[in-house]
Amino acid sequence: MNNFLLRYGDIIKKTLLIVAVFIIFYLIIFKIIPFLMPFVVALLLSVIIDPGVNFLEKKLKVPRGLASFILLLILIGVIGSLIAISITQLIYELSSLAEISTNYANTINDIILNLVDRIRMYYISLPPNITSLIESNMQSILNYISLFAKNLATWLLNFATKLPNFFFMTLITLVATFFISKDKQLILDFIKRQIPSHWAQHAKNIQVDLLKTFFGYLRAAATIMLITFLQVSIGLAMIGFDYPFLLGLLVTIVDALPVLGSGAVMIPWALYNIIMKNYMVGIYLLILYGLVVVVRQMIEPKIVGESIGLHPLVTLLSMFIGVKLFGALGLIIGPVFVVVFKALQKAEIIPPWK
């Protein structure tokens, strides 16, 4: 037994340490962060405004509390302005689209009525057993539609009931951001007093690495979304679609959702055009979708890897394993776990690779 421990003890210790890190990481991501989400967002916002707060405090001699309040107001104003501009542009394009939608609605209504008349003609001439089967299937479809309407109404009701809670959480987040920014040094001193002195430098190194990685990942995600938006918008404009900004934004938002991707919009759109005998438009949309997918697959591992300091192959592998273990969120969790693991190795908390 002693010989076994001498021979394999170091490997066992490292393995148990890695498993412990993985379990702690899992608990933080899926248990602690969701439970404390307003304070996590507040911490991120305080980090964003911290350089400006430091500048006002040290260069212009503004009291830190006042500086935090001013920068928080500016941040809220910038975010609110961006949202307002985006919503205004969307409303403008949607209003323009609504003006021409009446003609399309009338045309679609005529097509549906014509189709119903044709179905009725065939339906009357069918044998009774087949008509009863059709009626049964139609009743099932109506039941599904009724269930969908009921679920939609329930979702809207739940959304409405959650609005007060959303505003309450937003208020908590803003107040917490102010106090975290205002009392930054007081909070840091308290945390330092709770940990052994020789851990302080390790904690600082880990903090720097993780913050650098976090903002690098945000920059990478924004870059990928911008490239996708430009591709789709320019492609739709070249095909000849109206409102390429609105459509490009829609495809980009859907593309950012790992579960769906741009194919959830562009493939049905292309098939619809092919069915309606707009063959070239459908083919162009499929070509554009293929370009979006190819470019994304080529640039994502490289951009994300360079932004968070990982080799593209390691980034790709971590994304793959993350998706297998955690589903869609694994695309983010996988690389983040590798970065945390590297930071712990750099701080000599976990033995580095040979």
pLDDT of residue 349: 65
Confidence band for 276, pLDDT divided at 50, 70 and 90:
confident
Inform me whether the pLDDT recorded for 77 exceeds 70. Answer: yes
Average of per-residue pLDDT across 165-182: 86
And the tokens for 95?
Answer: 């209003």
Q: Give the pLDDT confidence of 241-268 residue by residue, as tens digits.
A: 877 887 888 888 877 765 567 777 888 8
Report the range out of 58-67, 126-135, 296-305, 324-333 with the highest average pLDDT. Answer: 58-67
State pLDDT tens for residues 188-238. Answer: 888 777 776 666 666 666 666 666 777 777 777 788 888 888 888 888 888
Residue 9 vs residue 317, higher pLDDT:
317
What pLDDT is recorded for position 309? 67
Q: What percent of the chain has pLDDT over 70?
A: 64
Task: Tell me what pLDDT residue 12 has.
Answer: 72
Low-confidence winner among 19-23, 135-139, 177-181 (lowest mean pLDDT): 135-139
Residue 51 pLDDT level (bands cut at 50, 70, 90)? confident
Residue from 242, 296, 232, 299 nearest 266 by CA: 232
Q: Shortest CA distance to 22 belongs to which of 323, 322, 348, 328?
A: 322
* pLDDT tens-digit map of 112-157: 556 656 665 665 565 666 666 666 666 666 666 667 667 766 766 6
Which tokens belong to 328?
């869609």
At 261, is the secondary structure helix, strand, or coil? coil
Identify the pLDDT of residue 315: 74
pTM above 0.85, yes or no: no
Which residue do the tokens 């007081």 mark? 186
Per-residue three-class SS string for 104-141:
HHHHHHHHHHHHHHHHHHHHHCCCHHHHHHHHHHHHHH
Mean pLDDT of the chain: 75
What is the per-residue pLDDT for 90?
64
Q: CA neighbours within 13 Å on the CB side: how many for 303?
A: 18
